[in-house]
Amino acid sequence: MPLDADARVSKVMFDRKELDAILRVYGMMVAAGEWRDYAIDGLKDRAEFSVFRHAAEHPLYRIVKTPADARRQGAWKIVSATGVILKRGHELAHVLKVFDRAKLRLA
């Protein structure tokens, strides 16, 4: 049985360590009552972890992994709901610190 074109295309995805770090931040924000849902997308050129306040809304934030940008700006970026890039970098842990400051502003 032949594979269709979509099945042959490799997708960018988060590895277990990356997903663990992202879910740790997600869990803290859920506990704070700020986030309620998430979606993970593995696309041809990037992987996205989107967080929502309500499932029917647009994502509040997107954590994006783009391996093609790794040498230039860094493979990681945090994008707000308006499309503004809040943080960009080579290390996921460094980029995720943007949510530490957001949590402090909420308290």
Distance (Å, whole) CA 71 – CA 26: 27
Kindly state the average pLDDT of the residues 88-104: 85
Q: What pLDDT, on the 0 to 100 scale, is given for residue 70?
A: 87
Alpha carbon distance 81, 60 (integer Å)? 5
Mean pLDDT, range 2-29, rounded to an integer: 83
Q: For residue 88, what are its two tokens?
A: 């960009």
Spatial separation of the C-alpha atoms in residues 89 and 70, rounded to whole Å? 8
pLDDT in tens, 33-71: 989 999 999 999 999 999 999 877 899 999 999 999 889
* pLDDT tens for each residue of 67-94: 998 899 899 999 999 999 999 999 999 9
